Structure 1
Amino acid sequence: MPLYLAPSIFPTILTIFPVPGEEKQPHSMMLPTPYLTLGMVTPPGPRALWPVDLKLTHLDWNPEATLIHFQGQYLTICELDYNILQGEIQNVPKAQARVDIGEFCLVEDVTSARWYRGRVQNQKKDLYDVFLIDHGNVLSVDEAHISSCTNDLFILPPKIVCGFLSSVLLLPDCCHSVVEQYFSNLIGRHVTGYIQALLPHKVLLLEAPDINNDLVRHGFGKHVDTDTFLLLVEMLTEAPLKQNIEPAPDLLIEKQRGQEFNLKPTSLKGYEEILSFCRPKLKCGSHATVHVTHVQNPNHFWIRTEKRNEEFEEMMKKLSEHFSNVKLEEDIIESPEPGMLCCAVYEEDMHYYRGVVVDLLEHGAEVLFIDFGNIGKVPHNLIKKIPEEFADKSAFALCCSLVNVVPNDEFWTISASDSYRRLLSNKELQVHVMAKRKTKFDVDLYLVEGGSVTSQSLSDLLIATNQAQYGKNISQNNQPLQNTEKCENWAEETNVPKVQTEKSKEPVCLKALNIKPGSEFAVFCPLIHTPSDFWCQRLDNVPALEALLVKLQDHYSTKSVPLDPEALSCAVKAPNTSQWCRGIITERRNGQANVSLADFGSSIQVSEESLQGLLPEFCVLEGQAFRCSLYNVIEPPALGWTSEASEFLKTFVEDSGSSLKCKVISQLNVRNRWLCNVVHLNNTESDQSVSNLLLERSLARVVTTTLSPTVFPESFVFSSYDLNVGSEEPVHVTHVSSHFEVLCQLDKNSSILEEIDAKICEISKVEQADSEAVVDKLCLAKYLDGKWYRGIAYPAQSPSHLCVTFVDYGNTMIAEKKHVIFIPRDSTDLLYTPMQALKFTLAWVPQDLVFADVKEWLDAAVLNKLVRAVIEAKGEDGSFKVELFDGEVSINEKLKELIHSLTPKPKMSVTFKTKGKKARQIDNGRYKCKAKSSPTSNPQNKTNKNKANTNSQMNRAGAVKSPQMKKKQNRVTSAVDTNG
């Protein structure tokens, strides 16, 4: 059996001969393009359909080819006959011969040294492309590997038949990858079809009704009447079509006979159908110049093509003229329904735009503006009937998703979405359509600067800068239209196939360490530029990294791994050390690649050819290097960091060794450096801070709270407020997360909270500033009590809501967007005052058992009360393990008792022998015995007992009283939070 290559789509039915200048290599393999001779045709006559049953062995198509190519086998094939024939072919004497195109011959596959029956399909210079008639693929060989043979070897008909599916055309803009997957699912299936006509060399035009109906039902294609289809084949191939009025002959062995027909339709209707497939569309694989009209996040944004912009402007002009003559009470849609087309007023400019109703409100509706992509709430009397002339045009805005990009967390942050929005705002872009779904295109975007397209796609840019990660994003839940069937008349859509698709193999992706403010751990610094730009590794991960690097050297020193074109993660040999490292490709240009070494922080430039693919086993460990800057120090404004300051930092790091500890205070988004962790670096042995030492030596100065225009806060500031093991602090419990975790404010920070409240009052009275003047993600949100509080905003499932975590109280709630304002950049007091809510984990309280009664008791005992916290230990994530006291009563001990009382008790039993009696088992606590778990127990008794114990325990717990204290007002409680 000759070696098979993976199927590839042949470029077009017209590409019968090799492209000029393209040389084929000897003995190479390819899928065949059926050989079609050119010839004149004669007038039409009657025709008959020939029914056949086939087993499909291959199907393929591409937009340029138009026709769907198939290969198959007749079900009556006897495998034994072909096995015997194959043995005879190997044994017959071979005679080198010169053969012409279309002639049968024997051909040798050099790799296996076996001979096969074939037909010469093409010749270029000394190379022949020979179609293997029993296997369906093509060998490219020179004359020395071709032999003539007797006709006896061709008495047995060809095992493979090939041709084109008839009476169906695929839509040019349907998703190529999904269609290919659908076709692959048909391989091996039996299909009944009807041969409409024959092309030269037994190439069939086969109508397969079941396949045709599936293609139409899935939205991949449309039916075409036979006359129109045969006209199309004639136009594409210029080949004679043979149709027979006799019963079906043995197509495999019968010599060609019958009339050749020139098919002409009786009207232009069919011809117009063909031309309709040629109208310009945004289809898979195409490129177009676009502008973005609306951005929700990188997986949900809208574009308009430059090509249709003039048409859009003309339509808007007419739409404006129309509604300038419509009175307020005229043309109102009385009973709007989701999915209904309309024209609606956009509140920002009070102009009418085309839209579709997506949801009903009490006094109006939510409308998706289909030429822009945004959703607005519109009063009932401003939703008008759409004139027919405007309803016929398809939507000008196309919904898109960046291909292979997903958020680092479960959802896109406000910061990432707004950064992406700013990146696209008022920019000319080039879009490359990768795939198409029902209402969304998966695309790659490229910035157009100075008339030329940049080399790095926005997908690559987001991944390389750790604002996103690689992942297949074909399935998204946040679709704006809940009733897409009613919107088919305004959106060009391709239905999603109902066949199950197998996930393709994704390029491996190297993830970054997940580091949050408050984290504290020992580090090693592999790279130091200045005190405001250096890289750290977690010391506890260094052994695992060293072991991985050893395996990396062993593998790539002896083997090579091809780099996936879509991959950003790679293996690269560092020029200065000649050692193999893990890298992230940040830019490709002119055959060169800029690569950031994921475990060391340095960047190198190498040729693209030297990059290797990174195997999945080398991606289990996250990239170990993370960028840092010292907290409380900046470079002097005029001279910048001196070499003395940088050398001092390097010396401090070397001298500290394993005693070097890093504490993450906050995170900044620095232009051209991206995410940067603001840290303290301390020597735990000498108890010295490098920041303080730099200040003492006048090598640095204390940072001002004025933000550089290139810096955007990604988080609020974390502070532990000098809490240490053994410290005792009065605290106010502001939120109960679970029966073992609470959020607290320090009583000593009451004045800080008052200052925050006063500043918030000033800001909340002012309208939200321009989008360039606000800080992403960090916000003020209105709580149920009508007051505003500091928070971190995250996208919610609803596009009109946000999820907000209140950083000074600890609870989370869903807020309407109109109740969230972002903090202006000049509000340094709000941005740089540390978060007031500290996470306390209750020491010794079991965490593996969960009882609702226990959390309810803890809520009643401590929420919004002043208690005393004794610090038992520090957590690596910035939390503290504590024991809480209400007066002299330990809350932790009460919780342990309550959990113990609610925990099912083991059943007690004893076995003993009496004289002359068999062993007896008695369930009685009077005997000394061992406890054992029983698989069965009385649920009723256990329930009653637990209930009694719970009531008794809660009655005792009720004796815990809080001391007299100043009750805090306007606290953000957990009445409707989403955590508890």
Structure 2
Amino acid sequence: MLAPQSTAPQSVTLEPYRPPVLPAGKVCQMVVASVGDDGIIYGMTRNAGFVNTEKEFEQLVENIQQHVKSLGHQQPYTWKLGEGCAVRGSDMLWHRGKVLEVFGGCVKVRYIDQGFIEKIPVCHIFPTVLFEEVPQLCIPCQLYGLLPVGNVWQPDAVHLLKELLQHRYINVDIMELPKDPKEKMLVQIHFDGMSLATIMEHHQHAVQDKSVMLTKQHILKLADDELEDFDFSYKGLEVDEPAIGFYTYPVVPDKGKLFPVIVKHLETPNVVYITLDDMQAKLDSEDLKEALERVNQHADSLPPLSDFSAGAPCLAKYSDGQYYRAKLAGFENLNPVKLLIIHVDFGSMDTLTTDRLRQIPAELLNFPCQAIKVNLAGFRPPAIDDETERVPYKPEWSLEALWTMLSLLQGKKLLAFRVYCM
């Protein structure tokens, strides 16, 4: 058992605790203890190759509870900023702390082994330093190359970070270790196959730091200049790059001209997905079907999706076990991560986890989308509607109206003409 080092109140010192032990490698796994209002992430390493601070924390808390029993009654004390202390937290357990601010009958303290800050009545803190030979067990981490919008992390952005990270295991790429181990470690974070930076950018809470990107480009250029006299062979080292591009759509006949269509899917009674029913569309459909069959023979070996921006093309695994063309519509859930996708050849939507999404081969971008989203002219919800069952995502429409339009249109061969194009 660790031997506690307790000092009398009059000898409580500033900065009494040792800094955390930083990982020696470039990658590690952490459990996130807390996220600060300034966007700093406090994590404990848990890899077998590093100090397993998660286990050490459990043992330390147990030892502290035993030691605090012998401290006796608290005497009046004048607190100073930066002092070490014992804190009785909201979990009714004692923890190691550090004084950040003193006001009235309360003290603002940081739990040094978990990172978070709390305002505590003075009756719940004790002027003593516990187990000072044990380093702080959480490492402050800052996201590398990512700037909060407005240069300050807004409350909704911090809320999202907490929802995504707290008490969760994450994979961490260590980009830069601090010169002072008490300072922040620069990291990139990945979980469920996704980059945290991508999620924060998608929600418009942050942007890439251009100065970091320029620095990296400058370093790469210097490296190229230094190596230009050497003869390198890259044979066998090539990797397939993710497909870059977007889907195309078939050309719809001019305004006022009749053309045959098949209704593929109804979103609402007046918003539907159609496919053209002409010879070229049929040929494209057959060629696409053959290409998808070829891709599905090895689809599980395709790289997982890495671009999670809205509208990004991908392959999505359907309930029949086959992959079909799709595009991302947005994030549906964050814990666990689930994304909303649209099947571009059918019009239907689905919510999938990241392991059911793959990068799309470039050849599948050559075929135009089979489903075209259109609005039906002359249809709108009634001003008065006594139906109680409503379409959940469009409550202005009743389910009865949706079922009626489904029976009239779904899968039917019809004639259409364009009256307006946005």
Normalised to the residue count of structure 2, the TM-score between the two structures is 0.47
Structure with larger RCO (C-alpha < 8 A, sep 6+): 2
Higher Rg: 1
